[in-house]
Structures are given as C-alpha cells and as structure tokens.
Structure 1
Amino acid sequence: MATEAHGGEEGGLVFHPMDQFIVQPLFGDGAINMFTVTNATLWLALTVLAVIALMVLGTGKRAIVPSRTQSIGELAYGFVYKMVEDVTGKDGVKYFPYIMTLFMFIVFANFLALIPMSFSTTSHFAVTVVLALAVFLTVTVLGFIKNGASFLGLFWVSSAPLALRPVLAIIEIISYFVRPVSHSIRLAGNIMAGHAVIKVFAGFAAIAVISPVSILAITAMYGLEVLVAFIQAYVFTILTCVYLKDALHPHH
C-alpha cells in the first residue's frame, strides 16, 4: 500500500491507490485478450454465484418458518417489488424479474468488493456502462413497442408555453441520451472514490506517528462504504424504474 521511494536526493512515501482497480490475468502475467481469465472475471463470477446462492439455494425450501438466508431473500424480494410497483405502477410489475436481477447483481458486487484483497467490479466503466446501456436500450425499445410514435411525446412538454416547447424538446432529447452516461458514471465513480480513499488511509497507516488516526479513518470510511454499497445499488435500480415509467407512460 505504501512504499518508500529513494529517487535522487529525495525520499518519501509513494501511494498507488488506483492500483487496486487494475485488471490483471488470474493465471500468469501475459497479455489480456478476449478469453483471458482475469481478477475481474473471477469476482463477476463470484457475484453471480452469490446471487444464486441467496435467491435460489437459500430460498429453495420455502419453509413457513424461514431460515436467515430465506428471510434475507424474501426481504430483498419485497423491497424491490414495492419499489417497482410504487414507481412504475401495476404496468411495470411484469418487468420486476429484470429489475430484481439488476439490483441483486449490483448490491452483491458492491458488498463483495468490501472484502479485503477483493476486486471492485462495479468501479469499472466496462461493467457499469454495459448495465446502463442495457437499461437504456431496453426502455427505449419498450417505449416504441408499447406506444409507437407517441413515445416521442416524452420529449414534447405540452404543459409549457408553445414558444418554449421546441427549446424544451431539445433539452429533453439531450438529457434522455445523457441518461446512460450519468447512470454508469454515478455508480462507478462513487465506488471507485470510496475504495481509493480507504487505500490512501491504509497507506498512511504505515507511518507510526499518524497510524492510530489513519486506522480510525479507515474504520469510518469502511462503515460509510457499506452504506454507499447499498445506496448506489438502490439509486441505480430506482433510476431504472423511473426510466421504465417514462417508457410505459411517456406523456407529460
């Protein structure tokens, strides 16, 4: 986390908080290609296995008196179902399985990244952009399938004065196509920033004078990151519900 640099006449501690985000081959040190198994591959696979373990294996018995695992699964199910129903209405409930899968994947990826020596997959735009684009394309196609050309009414603010409507339409179109950018950057940026700060504090822990303060800072940041891990999954999911609502009911 911290190494001592001896360059010329100067020396000091050099931190590399961003090294933890480097994608590396899991076996060997060769170049990374399409079929190389990397640390990102491993933790993405572990995320999927964790979701399956909770939602399939953990709730498979469906006991009247639920186990702890079943209780967590049922709480997650009820939480996301209520979110979808409240935001999108009854019409959006049929898309609940997709939104539930999205939430569980992100929340498990975020929490697994808090394990020491793990890899944070949701700090990479390669992951979050794919998730955001999948949502964007899905709701856009769904909007046209459900509403036809009237889906374009999403961009026409009929309640505004007539003279302002063309200007507002341009703004609405720009904001619509910016959605996948903000959707992906919000998740990756928050996760990356928190992990980088923890790494910096961990580097300062090597200095005896400020080590106690650094450890307290790490503890506080870790607690905050636990909260952020859930909040960012929630924000990503509820924005998905908002975009779905626009696709189902495009008229202002």
Structure 2
Amino acid sequence: MATEKEGGLVFHPLDQFIVKPLFGDGAVHWYTITNVTLWLALAVVAIVALFVIGTRGRAIVPSRTQSIGEVLYGFTYKMVEDVAGKDAVKFFPYIFTLFMFILFSNFLGLIPMSFATTSHIAVTGVLAAAVFLTVTILGFVKNGTKFLSLFWVSSAPLALRPVLAIIELISYFVRPVSHSIRLGGNIMAGHAVMKVFAGFAAIAAISPIAVVSITAIYGLEVLVAAVQAYVFTILTVVYLKDALHPAH
C-alpha cells in the first residue's frame, strides 16, 4: 500500500501480512477466525476440488484436471522413491499432502487481494516442526540408538569425530528453523517487492516501468511458488531418508 504524505509517497509493503479477524475488529486470539484461516481453508478446498471432484470420472483418457492431478501425483511419488528408497513409499501420503498444501497455498497467495499464508513463520514453522518431530521419532523407532550414527562421521579421522558430531547435532536441530524460514522468507520477500513496485505505479512518470517490473516480478513469483514448494518437500524427503538410513 502507498499513501501520499507531505507531497511524497509512503510505502507500507508489509501491511499485506497483517493477521486480521475475518469478522469485525478487535484482538486476535487462538480461536479467532482470521484472514489466515480463510486462505488456509481455501487451499484445502482447492486440493479437494482437484483430486476428489476433478478426478472422480477416472477416465482412461484423462481430462485436463485429471491429467494435472496425475502429473503431480507421479512427480511426488517418483521423488520419494528416488531420493529415500522404496521403503519410504509408505510415507508418500504425508509427503504428497505436504507438497500439495504448500503448492496451493503459495499459488493462492498470488491472487490479487489474497493472503499469502506461507509468508508467515507461524504457518511454515508448524509444518517444519511436524516434519522434524516425525522424522526424529521415526528414526529412533526404526533404528533405536543406531539412529545416533547419523551424527557420528565414521569416515573422518578419529580425533575429528567428536567435533564433527557436535556440528552435526547442531545442524540437525537447526533444520526446522532453516526449513521454515527458507519458505516463509522467500514468499514474504517476493510479495513485499511486488507491493513496493505497485506503489511506484502511482507515480505517473515511472508508472510504465513500474507496471512492466510488476509483471516480470509476478512471473518470477509464480516460479518461486512452485520451486519453494518443491524445495520444502524434497528436503523433507531427504530428512526422511536420514531417518530410515542414518548411517554416515
């Protein structure tokens, strides 16, 4: 948003990330239905529409909607199988749900006047924490204390192994932080930049340049929305691989 003040323009590119009650005004509590709630729910509805309604015919010659669903399904399945192995396929439903949710949330956030839910660390942090807890618990359940071999670099010289173990342990616990900030930060940055250029479009002298810039950035953000969903998902699969096969 850009407002005129004392003959100039004042930009508020971060106003678009403010969480507000969907009905009325007032404080936001844990039970308050907000704009975040609405767009998270719309992401779920969009996924259901694609995979339940769009593919209900299950035609031999698929429709466009069914083709999109099949491509996304096959792409994610192959990712899980290729990166983490065939024994990881049992976790495919969780990985696929995660990928679809982030992908649709990212794309819905690009609709004008929408809300980019994945720009909030509160959202991406919960997703990253769920992945971290899942793979950690799975690692210990499947491997027992052998899971700790993930932090012991047996190929390194013996004197360096304790130091490397500390580094590996720290990097392991940093995973949910980097996992969530990478997604949230990229989405927030792109939307903020678009908002700034939208403010410049109010200045007649540079509005043509601003409009062209917004168009280019929007196209880049479409790519970023897909890439960041992929990056979050493939990192999840890599972490899953570490839980299933922890030996260095």
For the superposition of Structure 1 and Structure 2, which TM-score range results when normalised by the shorter chain?
over 0.9
Q: Secondary structure at the match of 1:27?
A: coil
Query: Which residue in 2 is equivalent to 1:116?
Result: 112
Farther-moved stretch of structure 1 (143-152 vs 54-63): 54-63
Query: Which residue in 1 is equivalent to 2:80?
Result: 84
Query: Which residue in 2 is equivalent to 1:145?
Result: 141
Query: Which residue in 2 is equivalent to 1:242?
Result: 238
Picking from 184, 188, 191, the partner of 2:187 is 191
TM (norm. structure 1) is 0.98
* CA RMSD in angstroms, aligned pairs only: 0.6
Q: Secondary structure at the match of 2:19?
A: coil
Farther-moved stretch of structure 1 (197-206 vs 47-56): 47-56
**Residue identity matched to 1:150:** K
In 1, Cα distance between the equivalents of 2:51 and 2:135?
25
Alignment of 1:34-113 (within 5 A): 34-113=30-109
When the two structures are aligned, how many residues end up with a matched partner?
Answer: 248
Q: Secondary structure at the match of 2:8?
A: strand
In 2, Cα distance between the equivalents of 1:215 and 1:245?
45
Farther-moved stretch of structure 1 (25-34 vs 191-200): 25-34
Q: Show CA shifts across 1:79-98 (max 9, x none).
A: 00000001000010110000
In 1, Cα distance between the equivalents of 2:214 and 2:228?
20
**Residue identity matched to 1:177:** F
Farther-moved stretch of structure 1 (34-43 vs 199-208): 34-43
What is the Cα deviation at residue 115 of structure 1? 0.3
In 2, Cα distance between the equivalents of 1:25 and 1:125?
18
Query: Which residue in 2 is equivalent to 1:159?
Result: 155
What is the Cα deviation at residue 187 of structure 1? 0.0
In 1, Cα distance between the equivalents of 2:81 and 2:54?
25
Picking from 5, 10, 16, the partner of 1:14 is 10
| Overall identity of the aligned pairs, in % | 79
In 2, Cα distance between the equivalents of 1:118 and 1:157?
47
In 1, Cα distance between the equivalents of 2:218 and 2:98?
24
**Residue identity matched to 2:37:** T
TM (norm. structure 2) is 0.99
What is the Cα deviation at residue 226 of structure 1? 0.2
Segments of structure 1 that go 5 or more residues without pairing to the other structure are none
Which 4+ runs in 1 deviate beyond 3 A? none
Query: Which residue in 2 is equivalent to 1:5?
Result: 5
Q: Secondary structure at the match of 1:60?
A: coil
In 1, Cα distance between the equivalents of 2:150 and 2:197?
46
**Residue identity matched to 2:226:** F
Query: Which residue in 2 is equivalent to 1:172?
Result: 168
**Residue identity matched to 1:227:** L
Farther-moved stretch of structure 1 (216-225 vs 29-38): 29-38
In 1, Cα distance between the equivalents of 2:131 and 2:5?
46
In 2, Cα distance between the equivalents of 1:95 and 1:246?
14
**Residue identity matched to 2:12:** H
In 2, Cα distance between the equivalents of 1:135 and 1:80?
16
